[in-house]
Amino acid sequence: MGLPIDDLLAVLPAGRVLTDPDVLAAHCRDEADLCDAGTPLAVVRPRSTAEVAATVRVAAAHRLPVVPQGARTGLTGGANAVDGALVVSLTGLNRIIEIDPDEQIAVVQPGVVNAELCRAAAKEGLAYLPDPGSFESSTIGGNVSTDAGGMCCVKYGVTGEYVLGLEVVLADGEILRCGRRTVKGVAGYDLTGLFVGSEGTLGIITEITVRLRPAPEAARTMVAVYPTVAAAGRAVSSVIAAGHVPSMLELLDRTHLRAIEAYRPQGLDTEAAAMLLIATDTHAATDLAAIADCCRSAGASELYVAEDALEAQALTSARRLAHPAMEHLAVQAFPSGRGGLVVDDVAVPRTRVADLVAGVEEISARHGVLVGVVGHAGDGNLHPVIVVDRADQSSMDSGRLVFDEIMRLGLSLGGTCTGEHGVGLLKRDWLAREIGPVGMRIHRAVKLAFDPDGIFNPGKVIALR
């Protein structure tokens, strides 16, 4: 057996194995703060399933860690390298292999960007509906690996509900095909569902068959402004209890409203405590009118319905500006340091949304750490965003303390430590608390069954010891 790099060069085409220090540094981590990252031995950029399998066989022979990566837009450290690992960048597997409009499915490689699939499906009158906030840059492989969500989840669900079948390279280099192309199918264990959300710890996904849907009707969009977060929370509960199914039901708190206005003015009410952004795409006008009644009854100080598709798009775009606006706020808050964000991802019962936001406000005030809240109120999945100074260890420590208190609060409200971002490194200990010792034993058994030497994305999701 030769050296690992020599063995990779022997089985892969020229240009696939990269060891330039700048390339290695660029592939060390995703976008999560508070997470350690190591320096990889090499970055491998395969262009086919066979090349992924060849890479894994070399890694297995040398017992090298393998860290799969996509666009590295993750927020939990799930794509962070460990020292001496082979980073397998899947961005080169970026073909839309097939769109079948009759069966309403698509077959894609993992490096296909979410928005590219959406646009390709739209040409056939179809839609791929999971829509993470990073849909213009995040890849389908990364979306599947974290079971990503988005603004339309309240009606259309998360990524896993659209995944029908997978091709996966296993830890010994063998290639597994699981799942189906049919609308129905229950043969055997649900291996496809097991890989969805596994964050590269069980295998490397190289092909994905997804369900498409007929394109929804044009949506009607409305904003409801509230003087208190509690009133906005009451509105969310009222809308859901009345049986309405909006295609979007988003909450932005005052911190986010002010950040968006400072970053790119939209005419938002920066004195409001909270704003709900609501859309319907079935019986749009009548449904939106009924939802508006719920919002008024809950105490909305202002309601505004978009007059046309252009205004509706502008309102939705304002919501998508939330993350870059908060990044801008962090830089402004720490001009001499390195302002950063720790993005949390807590899902609670929808009736507890107001309790979660109120609790976050109390935690923020008590520790003197700025925290904004934004997220998918319609399915109880909110993102407290913690502003930290990366150059100041005391700020980072305070950010970690606030993060942990928010996690504890979410679980105490009957929630979960992650609604759509995944576990990665950031929430590994909180997953253990959530699922308990029996759940951890089963997780470890599954991991060892698929990856007995522990080479795939080590340290992520669970600790083997």
Task: Evaluate if residue 451 carries a pLDDT over 70.
Answer: yes
One domain, residues 232 and 370? yes
Q: How far apart (Å, rounded) are the C-alpha atoms in residues 439 and 419?
A: 18
One domain, residues 318 and 364? yes
Give the count of domains, the chain. Answer: 4
User: pTM for this structure?
Assistant: 0.94
One domain, residues 132 and 200? yes
Task: Choose the final residue of a domain: 187, 214, 241.
Answer: 214
Which pLDDT does position 188 carry in this prediction? 95
Task: Choose the final residue of a domain: 89, 115, 150.
Answer: 89
Q: Does residue 351 lie in a domain region?
A: yes
Residue 247's contacts (CB-CB under 8 Å, 6 or more residues apart) are 152, 154, 155, 156, 216, 219, 279, 280, 281, 282
Task: Choose the final residue of a domain: 169, 186, 214.
Answer: 214
Cα→Cα distances 364→234, 349, 350, 393, 413, Å: 22, 22, 22, 18, 18
Mean pLDDT of the 277-281 span: 93
One domain, residues 82 and 112? no
Which pLDDT does position 414 carry in this prediction? 97
Task: Evaluate if residue 410 carries a pLDDT over 80.
Answer: yes
Q: Does residue 417 lie in a domain region?
A: no
Q: Does residue 418 lie in a domain region?
A: no
The CATH number for 24's domain is: 3.30.43.10
pLDDT tens for each residue of 300-337: 999 999 988 888 888 888 898 999 999 999 999 998 77
One domain, residues 31 and 122? no
Asked if residue 229 lies in contact with residue 255, where contact means CB atoms within 8 angstroms, the answer is: no
DSSP code per residue over 112-179: SBHHHHHHHHHTTTEE-----TTTTT-BHHHHHHHT---TTHHHH--GGGGEEEEEEE-TTS-EEEEE
DSSP code per residue over 355-383: HHHHHHHHHHHHHT--EEEEEEGGGTEEE
Which pLDDT does position 315 carry in this prediction? 87
Range of the domain at 333: 220-412
Task: Evaluate if residue 106 carries a pLDDT over 80.
Answer: yes
pLDDT tens for each residue of 365-394: 999 999 999 999 999 999 999 999 999 999
The CATH number for 209's domain is: 3.30.465.10
One domain, residues 170 and 267? no
Q: How far apart (Å, rounded) are the C-alpha atoms in residues 278 and 109?
A: 33
Q: Does residue 421 lie in a domain region?
A: no
Under DSSP, is residue 418 helix (H, G, I), strand (E, B) or coil? coil
Task: Evaluate if residue 1 carries a pLDDT over 70.
Answer: no
93 or 216, which is more confident? 93
Asked if residue 276 lies in contact with residue 377, where contact means CB atoms within 8 angstroms, the answer is: yes
pLDDT tens for each residue of 412-429: 999 999 999 999 999 999
Task: Evaluate if residue 64 carries a pLDDT over 70.
Answer: yes
The mean pLDDT of the chain is 95
DSSP 8-class letter at 352? G
Band of residue 230 on the pLDDT scale cut at 50, 70, 90? confident
Task: Evaluate if residue 215 carries a pLDDT over 80.
Answer: yes
Mean pLDDT of the 111-127 span: 97
What the block records as the tokens of 202 is: 């069980």
Q: How many CA atoms, within 13 angstroms, populate the side-chain half-sphere of residue 351?
A: 3
Q: Does residue 420 lie in a domain region?
A: no
Which pLDDT does position 427 carry in this prediction? 96
Q: Does residue 395 lie in a domain region?
A: yes
Percent of the chain scored above 70 by pLDDT? 99
One domain, residues 231 and 321? yes
